[in-house]
Structures are given as C-alpha cells and as structure tokens.
C-alpha cells in the first residue's frame, strides 16, 4: 500500500462506509433483549458491548474496518460505581435534608437538597466528556486507538457555567454554549498521534435558533386562530350552537396540541441538523477534514422512520434504533485529506478502566 491513503471528494466511494444489514443484526438484537429480560436488566451492559462490536466491525474507514475492544464487564463496573458513589449518597443526602427541614433546620436541609442537584449538574458534563474519551479508547483502526489525557473534571465546570450563561440571556446564548462545549470536548481528544481540531462558530446557527426561539409564540397565535375559527364555525344562522361546542373545541384542542408539539419538534430538528453540520464541518484530525452531509429532511425521515418502526412493531422495534442511528451517522459522514499510514503510532493517552456509567445514569447515552 502507498505511504499515503488519499481521500478525494471526487471518489465514488466515501471514506466512511457501513456494510451491515438489519437481517444480520436481528439475531443479536433479539438475543440481547431476551437475555436482558431473563437477567432482570443486568445483561444490558454486555448487550451494549455486543451491539457495538457488530456495528464497529461493519464500519469501514478508508480501507480498514473499525474494531470495538470494550467489554460488558467494563460497562457493568461503570454502572455499579455510579450507584455506589452517586446514587446512594444522593438518596441519603435528600432524606437527611428532609428530616432536617422537619426538625426546623431549614437552611441545612435546603443545602442538603440543593448541593446534590448542583453536583449532578457538574457530573453531567464530566459524564459527557468521559464517555467520548472511553469510546475513543476502545475504538481501534489499524490497531491504533484514540483517547485523551484530560480526565474531564475541568470540562465539568465549563459545562456548568457555559450552560447557565447560555440561558441567562433569555436563552439566546444557547447556540454559543453548545458550539463552545463541542469545541472544548473534541480539542481535548486525539487518535493515535493526531489531535482533533475543532473551530466551529455559532453565528451560522442563529437564524434557525431564532426561528425555534420565536416559534412557540407563532404556534400559540396559530392555535388561537384555530379556536377562533372553530367558534365561528359553531354558529348557526348567527347563533352559537351549544350542542356541538364540546366536540368542536375538543377537536381544536387536540389539533392545536399536535400542531404545537410537532411543529416545535420539527423546527428544533431543523436547528439541530444545522448545528451538527456546522460543528462536524469544522472538525479535523491531523491532515483530515470532516463533513456531515445530512440535511433537515434526512433527520426528519430518520425520526419518522423510528416512530413508524415503534408503532408498527408495538414497541418491539426499539431494539433496532441503535442500528438505524449508527448507520445514519456513518453513511452521512465524509472525510477529505491525507493520512500518513506509515507514520501512525499507538496512542499514549491513558485508558479508562470502566465504561460510561455516568452517561447512562443521566440518560444521555447514545451508541
């Protein structure tokens, strides 16, 4: 093979490729589901590791497939540590706080209630950082892995103050906070000897964010207009028809609710699609540059497909959601540039001993 693997935009074959099928994945998904039920949920850590091994092994980058080296035991240990170090202390602190308030020690009781919530807020940031670090550390390409020497504790403070600052300005700083935190996370990561680059700017997101920001007011105005139209429609020869009023207004309430939540969801999806393109398009690794080509309609089709899958299978299709989301991510990912294959060396970053239990505990986990 040449010293350099060159990735050109004109190539018919993308730098990334996914070669799995749902028929291959189905036995894994349903076996995992059965074992999770039989073990009362304990097997889910091993199920996640098994799912990732399949998805990674079917994912090609340039000329080699990825390899997942994480284990279910690592994820299980991460989950146990969360219970012992965070869940149990949180329950104890809130119970003691309630007892102190009942005894009249309101200040101490309030502190015992508030302090754990602040700690959880901080740990949400640490969890997001360490999950990426763990996944990079267990992802191999040509025998090379990724990782970070940063343990994420500083990022936890950044997550707190940037999130709060983003919402303080009536929520108008949210795009800045999201982009800034993305940049900070990925700049701390590396793969082999190469550091990730990320210099995304939030300004291209503001138009879509302002549309989302103002959309509740617009949707409420449409809902009000709908109720007014229904009221006019209930008039017979200029007189109000009380018999049909409950049915008419109920139908208007249902239609208005669907209009509000679906409209808000689609507008947020349009913003998030733009956000993901902006941050990925401003990322790089060594001499590689990345690009994500999924448009808003691609995300909408993904979401509608998920809903249809769940409805048509009476919820059983949730076992395929991870497969669908990973395939979506890989098939829309592009890379341009050069990799000096002969110059690749193994990462010297430290590896986590356990999985992303914190991320799962806060329900922020993905693939």
Q: What is the DSSP string of 147-170?
A: E-S--SHHHHHHHHHHHHHHHHTT
Residue 340 contacts residue 69 (beta carbons within 8 Å): no
The three-state secondary structure class of 29 is: helix
Residue 162 contacts residue 180 (beta carbons within 8 Å): yes
Residue 99 placed within a domain: no
Residue 265 placed within a domain: yes
* pLDDT, position 246: 58
Residue 301 placed within a domain: no
* pLDDT, position 255: 64
* pLDDT, position 357: 55
Residue 130 contacts residue 331 (beta carbons within 8 Å): no
Residue 227 placed within a domain: yes
List the structure tokens of 366: 């993905």
Question: 18-47: per-residue pLDDT in tens?
Answer: 999 999 999 999 999 999 999 999 999 999
* pLDDT, position 215: 85
Residue 225 placed within a domain: yes
Q: Is 271 exposed, middle or buried (0-12, 13-18, 19+ CB in 10 A)?
A: buried
Domain of 258, in residue numbers: 201-274
Residue 61 placed within a domain: no
What gap in Å lies between CA 184 and CA 198, rounded to an integer? 8
* pLDDT, position 5: 45
* pLDDT, position 364: 47
* pLDDT, position 1: 40
Q: How far from the centroid of its chain's Cα atoms is residue 303's Cα?
A: 14
What stretches in the chain show pLDDT beneath 50? 1-12, 236-238, 240, 361, 363-367
* pLDDT, position 83: 84
* pLDDT, position 305: 95
Nearest CA to 70 out of 59, 85, 54, 81 is that of: 54
For residue 61, the cross-strand partners are: 16, 64
Residue 205 placed within a domain: yes
Residue 155 placed within a domain: no
Domain count for the chain, please give it: 1
* pLDDT, position 77: 87
Question: 292-309: per-residue pLDDT in tens?
Answer: 999 999 999 999 999 999
């Amino acid at each position: 093979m040449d010293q350099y693997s060159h990735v050109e935009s004109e190539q018919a074959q993308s730098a990334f490729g996914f070669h799995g099928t749902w028929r291959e994945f189905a036995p894994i998904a349903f076996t995992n589901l059965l074992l999770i039920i039989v073990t009362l949920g304990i097997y889910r850590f091993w199920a996640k590791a098994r799912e990732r091994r399949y998805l990674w092994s079917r994912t090609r980058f340039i000329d080699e497939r990825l390899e997942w080296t994480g284990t279910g035991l690592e994820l299980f240990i991460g989950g146990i540590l969360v219970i012992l170090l965070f869940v149990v202390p949180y329950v104890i602190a809130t119970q003691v706080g309630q007892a102190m308030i009942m005894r009249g020690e309101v200040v101490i009781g309030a502190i015992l209630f508030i302090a754990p919530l602040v700690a959880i807020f901080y740990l949400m940031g640490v969890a997001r950082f360490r999950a990426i670090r763990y996944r990079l550390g267990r992802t191999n390409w040509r025998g090379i892995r990724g990782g970070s020497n940063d343990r994420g504790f500083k990022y936890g403070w950044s997550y707190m103050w940037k999130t709060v600052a983003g919402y303080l300005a009536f929520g108008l700083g949210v795009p800045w906070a999201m982009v800034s935190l993305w940049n900070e996370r990925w700049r701390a990561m590396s793969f082999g000897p190469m550091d990730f680059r990320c210099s995304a700017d939030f300004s291209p997101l503001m138009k879509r964010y302002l549309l989302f920001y103002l959309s509740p007011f617009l949707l409420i105005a449409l809902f009000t207009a709908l109720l007014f139209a229904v009221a006019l429609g209930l008039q017979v020869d200029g007189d109000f028809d009380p018999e049909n009023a409950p049915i008419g207004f109920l139908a208007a309430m249902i239609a208005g609710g669907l209009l509000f939540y679906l409209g808000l969801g689609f507008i947020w999806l349009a913003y998030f699609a733009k956000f993901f393109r902006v941050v990925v398009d401003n990322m790089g690794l060594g001499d590689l540059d990345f690009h994500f080509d999924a448009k808003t309609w691609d995300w909408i089709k993904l979401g509608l497909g998920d809903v249809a899958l769940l409805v048509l299978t009476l919820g059983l299709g949730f076992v395929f959601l991870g497969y669908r989301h990973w395939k979506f991510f890989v098939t829309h990912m592009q890379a341009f540039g050069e990799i000096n294959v002969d110059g690749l060396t193994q990462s010297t970053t430290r590896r986590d001993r356990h999985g992303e239990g914190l991320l799962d505990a806060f329900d922020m986990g993905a693939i």
